[in-house]
Each structure stands twice: as C-alpha cells, then as structure tokens.
C-alpha cells in the first residue's frame, strides 16, 4: 500500500492526501458533508486519514466505477467515522479549502498529489449572491431551515458555499461552482439562482 505522507513530503511542496471519491456530489469549503458508504476506496481513505492527521481529499469522480476524477476537490477534515450495524460507515467531513489534483496514484487507497487553491477575495460580489440566495430561500422555507441547521459560520462566503453544496442543481453545475474561485462563484450563484427561481415560478404559473 502506498505510504500517505504528511503535507510537504511531496518534492513539489504539494500535499499528498488519501482520496475519498464522491459520486454526483461535492464538498465545499466551510461546509459539512455526511454520507453513508460501504465502498472500499472510501473506507480505505478514511482509515488512512485517521492515521495521518484526519485530512483527506474529497473529489467527485466523472464516471461510476472509474478512477477519473474532476480536477478540483476539497481538502477535508474527518469529523466522524461511525461503523453501522447494518454495514458500511457513516462519515462526516468538514470542508477546509479547495485543491487541484496534480497526480492520482495508488490503488488501495487512492492517493492524490494536490495543490491547494486560493479562494480569492469576493470583494463586493458576495452581496448580490447573498441577496439572490435570500430571494430563493424566501420561496423555499424547508431548504432555508435545513441550511440554517447546517451553517457553521456567520461569514457571508460560508453561507454562499453551503448553498452551493445543497441547492437542487445538476452535478455538473455544482462542480463548476467548486471549480470557480470565490469572486467567480458569487457571480455564478447570483445569476444562477435568479434564473432558477424564474424557471420554477414559470413552471408553477403554467400549471395553474
């Protein structure tokens, strides 16, 4: 089994982290993700993370059953690993920061050489994003209640990231939001939420 090394062990100065492969979901910085899994690659990544400081790279695969991943994932801290009586594990991850996969190596578990990515300063861009989110959540009280329960930080960007993770959008659209830095993500979510709300309201009106 490949040795999972601590940050700085890679000759390039990048991080070497066990990979927890995700399917059609993303983990964003400053957000949490809970999943139940019995998949061997995921369980091995969790096992290695527990022995090496609790960090891993959560990254979405492009196709089920393949090793091809998207280029950008999220460095996460393992917050909980609970073995379930019916089999599998309940795993909770806390997203820390985005990272780009440089090289994927190993088989059991997968190990990634990853470069941490800067988020950038959203500046004034977070304002329209939060306003668009407020308009959308005004029409979706259940989602607002859920996000309020999940929120770990009062920072506006944490609120935007949490929404990006849980909004009812396609997996490809969610990955594009993760690929973007904070300023671009704010612009995308602001435009996307207003378009989504108009689409939903149009569908509701046509059904009257």
Q: How confident is the model at residue 180 (pLDDT cuts 50, 70, 90)?
A: very high
Q: How confident is the model at residue 66 (pLDDT cuts 50, 70, 90)?
A: confident
DSSP string, 129-150: HHHHHHHHHHT-HHHHHHHHHH
pLDDT per position as a tens digit, 86-121: 888 999 999 999 999 999 987 778 899 999 999 998
Distance between CA atoms of 105 and 4, rounded to whole angstroms?
11
pLDDT (0 to 100) of residue 183 = 94
pLDDT (0 to 100) of residue 81 = 94
- 103 phi/psi in degrees, rounded to 5: -145, 140
Average pLDDT, the chain: 87
**CB-CB contact of 174 with 26 (8 Å):** yes
Residue ranges in the chain assigned as alpha helix (H): 40-51, 126-138, 141-150, 156-166, 171-179, 182-206
Q: Determine the angle formed by the axes of helices 126-138 and 141-150, rounding to 10 degrees.
A: 130
**Most confidently modeled range among 54-68, 69-83, 100-114, 141-155:** 69-83
Answer yes or no: is pLDDT of 202 > 90: no
What percent of the chain is helix, strand and coil (3-state, nearest 5)? 40, 25, 35
pLDDT (0 to 100) of residue 200 = 84
Mean pLDDT computed over 4-18: 66
Answer yes or no: is pLDDT of 11 > 60: no
Q: For each of the domains in the chain, give its residue range(s) and CATH number, in order of start.
A: 15-116 (2.30.130.40), 123-206 (no CATH)
pLDDT (0 to 100) of residue 10 = 57
Answer yes or no: is pLDDT of 175 > 90: yes
Answer yes or no: is pLDDT of 83 > 60: yes
Distance between CA atoms of 17 and 9, rounded to whole angstroms?
11
Q: Is 30 helix (H, G, I), strand (E, B) or coil?
A: coil
Mean pLDDT computed over 169-175: 92
Mean pLDDT computed over 55-72: 89
pLDDT (0 to 100) of residue 1 = 40
**CB-CB contact of 16 with 112 (8 Å):** yes
pLDDT per position as a tens digit, 129-143: 999 999 999 989 999
């Amino acid at each position: 089994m490949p040795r999972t090394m601590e940050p700085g062990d890679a000759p390039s100065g990048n991080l070497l982290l066990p990979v927890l492969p995700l399917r059609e979901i993303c983990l964003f910085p400053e957000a949490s993700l809970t999943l139940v899994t019995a998949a061997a690659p995921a369980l091995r990544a969790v096992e290695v993370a527990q022995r090496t400081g609790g960090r891993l790279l959560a990254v979405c695969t492009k196709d089920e059953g393949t090793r091809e991943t998207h280029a950008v994932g999220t460095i996460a801290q393992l917050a909980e690993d609970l073995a379930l009586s019916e089999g599998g594990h309940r795993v909770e991850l806390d997203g820390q920061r985005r990272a780009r996969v440089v090289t994927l190596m190993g088989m059991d578990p997968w190990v990634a050489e990853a470069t941490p990515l800067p988020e950038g300063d959203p500046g004034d861009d977070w304002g329209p994003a939060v306003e668009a989110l407020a308009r959308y959540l005004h029409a979706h009280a259940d989602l607002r209640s859920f996000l309020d329960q999940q929120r770990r930080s009062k920072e506006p960007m944490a609120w935007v990231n949490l929404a990006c993770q849980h909004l009812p959008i396609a997996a490809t659209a969610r990955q594009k939001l993760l690929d973007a830095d904070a300023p671009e993500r704010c612009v995308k979510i602001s435009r996307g939420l207003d378009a989504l709300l108009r689409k939903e309201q149009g569908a509701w009106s046509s059904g009257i």
